[in-house]
Structure 1
Amino acid sequence: MPESPEIEALAHHLRENAVYRPVARVDVASMSAVKTFDPPVTSLVGRVVTGAARYGKFLSVEFADRPGEELHLVTHLSRAGWLRWHETASTTPPKPGRGPLEFRVHLDTVGGPGFDLTEAGTQKRLAVYLVRDPQEIPGVARLGPDALTLGRDQLAELLAGQGARLKTLLVDQKTIAGIGNAYSDEILHTAKLSPFAVAGRLPEEKIDALAVAMHAVLTDAVDRSVGQGAATLKGEKRSGLRVHARTGLPCPVCGDTVREVSFADRSFQYCPTCQTGGKPLADRRLSRLVR
């Protein structure tokens, strides 16, 4: 799933390549992906791309035809979605249900440059909204403070009194926006904190370590991602991961074996030596949690 660094990089890519270009046509290959109807997506035709922005893990492309008449095409790429830039595209409208293409925007001319919103797999969760204000989208309106700009004191306030485990809290978009499964694993590993540590019980020095790790991991990922082409971002993300999706491999810090805890539809990875005092966490599917 794309997280804040990848969304930030995609927004940068659109600002570099799409701004000042008019919309020639919009193709909808999956009506179920479009979650709004007023204004219709056809109202983008003739409007000019004026910018791109990020709201947590939501990507917004901004359009206008005159001052005060802005529209925002906002997408949540979910687990298997992606934005793909193209210099040329087919002029034939796509057939619904054929392939991963969900939504296409032609810029300058039909068949010319533009971008596709695609989604692999059978679980179609990609969502597209066309709104006058991103705050009209419930998921955007509920976002907590952004992880990339969250200060240490603000983080301490968010953690105070929380009974949730750190892993759960870090991926809760209503608490902290922009972090998903992969970077939460990396942040906790860098901070040397157990995923099962109770957020509201962290001592001051552990809060300090979490704040430093959050800033370091995310800013490093942004620095590596921004300027990459959209096609190379996934590989760039994988290359920077130290524990996430590395079950069974040696921890690059201490050499211990990276372990995994699995749930019904997701899993996370951690290093016992770095994070849990050498004590493995039991797989919740098989036995009770070892704290």
Structure 2
Amino acid sequence: MPESPEVEVLARFVAERTRGRRIRTVELDEFRALKTRNRPLAELAGRTVTGVRRHGKHLAVATDGPVLVVSFGRAGWLRWVPAADPAADPADDQHPAADPAADDAPPAAAPLGALTLEDGASFVLTDAGSWLSFGLSVVDDIADVPAIAKLGPDPLDDGFFLADLEAVVDGRRKQLKAVLQEQESLAGIGNAYSDEILHVARLSPLAHASTLDAGERARLFAAIREVLTDALADRLPVPIDGLKAAKAASMRVHGRTGEPCPVCGGLVEDIPGSKGAAQFCPICQA
């Protein structure tokens, strides 16, 4: 699933190509993806894009009318298709080769809709999963999307401080990994980056948040900021169709079961109870 660093890069990419431009159409082949059934996508036709922002793992495209919110699941993403060039081969559009064995490498993605601009350029909504991996909402205010309204503080924001994290973990009798993935507590962190953060912080994913002492809280805060800001910096030069593969390739422990830990050399293991979906180093994170 794309997490905040990848969605932030996508938001900047979309903003550069849409701000100040008029939307011709927004089409959707999968009706279940539209979460605001009383607000048809046709409301966006003829509107001018005024800005694009990320909210956690959600992308908000603001116009001079309503806002289009795109919410991504594990296999949902966008593909950029420039305006038609008679001399260009459409198959050449930003599709870097990816390792199909990589945990987050995007498999062949089916187009399920598109936002088309006035010159014919478009962002195609794609889904490579066996279940629906994105949702669209047409709203007047982003707070009208329940998942955005309840988001916790965003660790990629400059205004995220240790006190914000302490408010999240204080008194929480819940495992650290679950707390990090809880969008109401911290916006934008998912399965992969929660594994990476806890490895850098040298904390067990099974430890309860309420048991952290002051030093462990400080380590966790520093790891959250380091992992996410470094990931964002690393992803900025990557074409949007290569972001998921780049993310998978960068992982220290996530998706690395049986491989040596890059810190201690011990073997990375699956987190107990995760059914192979999450990993840690039992030596570094004892």
Please classify the TM superposition score into its range, dividing by the shorter chain length. 0.7 to 0.9
| CA positional deviation for 1:6 | 0.6
Q: Which runs of 5+ in 2 are unaligned?
A: 85-108
| CA positional deviation for 1:88 | 4.2
Are 2:76 and 2:129, in contact at CA under 8 Å, matched by a contact in 1? no
Please tell me whether residue 120 in structure 1 is matched to residue 120 in structure 2: no
Output the CA distance in 2 between the equivalents of 1:242 and 1:258: 9
Instruction: Give the corresponding residue for 1:285.
Output: none
Output the CA distance in 1 between the equivalents of 2:235 and 2:63: 24
TM-score in terms of structure 1 length: 0.85
Of structures 1 and 2, the one with the larger relative CO (CA 8 A, separation 6+) is: 2
Instruction: Give the corresponding residue for 1:245.
Output: 255
| CA positional deviation for 1:262 | 5.9
Please tell me whether residue 164 in structure 1 is matched to residue 166 in structure 2: no
| CA positional deviation for 1:226 | 2.3
- After superposing the two structures, state which structure 1 stretch, 22-31 or 174-183, moved more: 22-31
> What secondary structure sits across from 1:129 in the alignment?
strand
Instruction: Give the corresponding residue for 1:284.
Output: none
Please tell me whether residue 268 in structure 1 is matched to residue 263 in structure 2: no
Q: Note the alpha carbon deviations across 1:92-140, whole angstroms, 9 max, x for none.
A: xxxxxxx72222011123xx21101111122114111011111001111
Output the CA distance in 2 between the equivalents of 1:32 and 1:17: 27
Structure-to-structure mapping, 1:225-236, within 5 angstroms: 225-236=235-246
CA RMSD of aligned residues (A): 1.6
Q: Which amino acid aligns with 1:187?
A: I
Say which of 108, 111, 114 aligns to 1:101.
111
Q: Which amino acid aligns with 1:192?
A: R
| CA positional deviation for 1:163 | 0.1
Corresponding pairs, count: 260
TM-score in terms of structure 2 length: 0.87
| CA positional deviation for 1:39 | 3.1
Output the CA distance in 2 between the equivalents of 1:231 and 1:260: 28
| CA positional deviation for 1:49 | 1.5
Are 1:12 and 1:227, in contact at CA under 8 Å, matched by a contact in 2? no
Are 1:18 and 1:114, in contact at CA under 8 Å, matched by a contact in 2? no
Distance change in 2, residues 1:5/1:207 (3 Å): same
Are 2:201 and 2:220, in contact at CA under 8 Å, matched by a contact in 1? yes
Output the CA distance in 2 between the equivalents of 1:7 and 1:217: 15
Structure-to-structure mapping, 1:274-285, within 5 angstroms: 274-276=284-286
Please tell me whether residue 188 in structure 1 is matched to residue 198 in structure 2: yes
Q: Which amino acid aligns with 1:84?
A: R
Q: Which runs of 5+ in 1 are unaligned?
A: 65-69, 90-98, 277-291
Output the CA distance in 2 between the equivalents of 1:227 and 1:103: 26
> What secondary structure sits across from 1:147 in the alignment?
coil
Q: Which amino acid aligns with 1:132?
A: D
Instruction: Give the corresponding residue for 1:92.
Output: none
Instruction: Give the corresponding residue for 2:63.
Output: 63
Please tell me whether residue 214 in structure 1 is matched to residue 221 in structure 2: no
Instruction: Give the corresponding residue for 1:145.
Output: 153
